[in-house]
Protein backbone atom coordinates (compact mmCIF):
# COMPACT_ATOMS: atom_id res chain seq x y z
CA UNK A 1 0.00 0.00 0.00
CA UNK A 2 1.00 3.58 -0.58
CA UNK A 3 0.63 6.17 2.19
CA UNK A 4 -1.16 9.42 1.29
CA UNK A 5 -1.92 12.51 3.34
CA UNK A 6 -4.60 15.09 2.64
CA UNK A 7 -6.33 18.03 4.28
CA UNK A 8 -10.02 17.75 5.08
CA UNK A 9 -12.53 20.06 6.70
CA UNK A 10 -13.68 19.67 10.29
CA UNK A 11 -17.07 18.56 8.95
CA UNK A 12 -15.39 15.79 6.93
CA UNK A 13 -13.42 14.76 10.01
CA UNK A 14 -16.59 14.41 12.08
CA UNK A 15 -18.40 12.53 9.30
CA UNK A 16 -15.52 10.11 8.73
CA UNK A 17 -15.13 9.36 12.43
CA UNK A 18 -18.87 8.83 12.87
CA UNK A 19 -19.29 6.57 9.83
CA UNK A 20 -16.17 4.50 10.57
CA UNK A 21 -17.41 3.98 14.13
CA UNK A 22 -20.88 2.96 12.85
CA UNK A 23 -19.33 0.42 10.48
CA UNK A 24 -16.79 -0.82 13.01
CA UNK A 25 -13.86 -0.12 10.69
CA UNK A 26 -10.86 2.20 10.75
CA UNK A 27 -11.00 5.64 9.16
CA UNK A 28 -8.33 4.48 6.69
CA UNK A 29 -10.47 1.51 5.66
CA UNK A 30 -13.47 3.79 5.19
CA UNK A 31 -11.39 6.09 2.99
CA UNK A 32 -10.23 3.11 0.89
CA UNK A 33 -13.83 1.91 0.48
CA UNK A 34 -14.98 5.40 -0.52
CA UNK A 35 -12.20 5.64 -3.09
CA UNK A 36 -13.07 2.19 -4.44
CA UNK A 37 -16.71 3.16 -4.87
CA UNK A 38 -15.85 6.54 -6.33
CA UNK A 39 -13.10 5.50 -8.70
CA UNK A 40 -13.19 1.78 -9.41
CA UNK A 41 -16.78 0.57 -9.45
CA UNK A 42 -17.93 2.04 -12.75
CA UNK A 43 -20.23 0.19 -15.13
CA UNK A 44 -17.27 -1.07 -17.14
CA UNK A 45 -14.98 -1.65 -14.13
CA UNK A 46 -13.02 1.48 -14.99
CA UNK A 47 -13.02 5.00 -13.58
CA UNK A 48 -16.48 6.45 -12.93
CA UNK A 49 -17.89 9.13 -15.16
CA UNK A 50 -17.18 12.61 -13.84
CA UNK A 51 -20.83 13.36 -13.12
CA UNK A 52 -21.23 10.28 -10.94
CA UNK A 53 -18.00 11.06 -9.13
CA UNK A 54 -19.12 14.61 -8.40
CA UNK A 55 -22.46 13.34 -7.13
CA UNK A 56 -20.74 10.88 -4.81
CA UNK A 57 -18.46 13.60 -3.48
CA UNK A 58 -21.48 15.81 -2.86
CA UNK A 59 -23.12 13.07 -0.80
CA UNK A 60 -19.93 12.58 1.17
CA UNK A 61 -19.66 16.28 1.91
CA UNK A 62 -23.23 16.34 3.20
CA UNK A 63 -22.58 13.46 5.64
* Residue 37 pLDDT grade (very low, low, confident, very high; cuts 50, 70, 90): confident
* Residue 40 pLDDT grade (very low, low, confident, very high; cuts 50, 70, 90): confident
CA distance 53 to 39: 7
Q: What is the pLDDT of residue 14?
A: 96
- Mean pLDDT of all residues in 22-49: 80
Cα angle 34, 38, 4; round to 5: 60
Mean model confidence pLDDT for the chain: 80
56 to each of 28, 33, 37, 41, 48, how far by Cα in Å?
A: 18, 12, 9, 12, 10
- Domain limits, the chain: 28-63
Amino acid sequence: MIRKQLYISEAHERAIKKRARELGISEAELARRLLDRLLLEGDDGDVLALGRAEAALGLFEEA
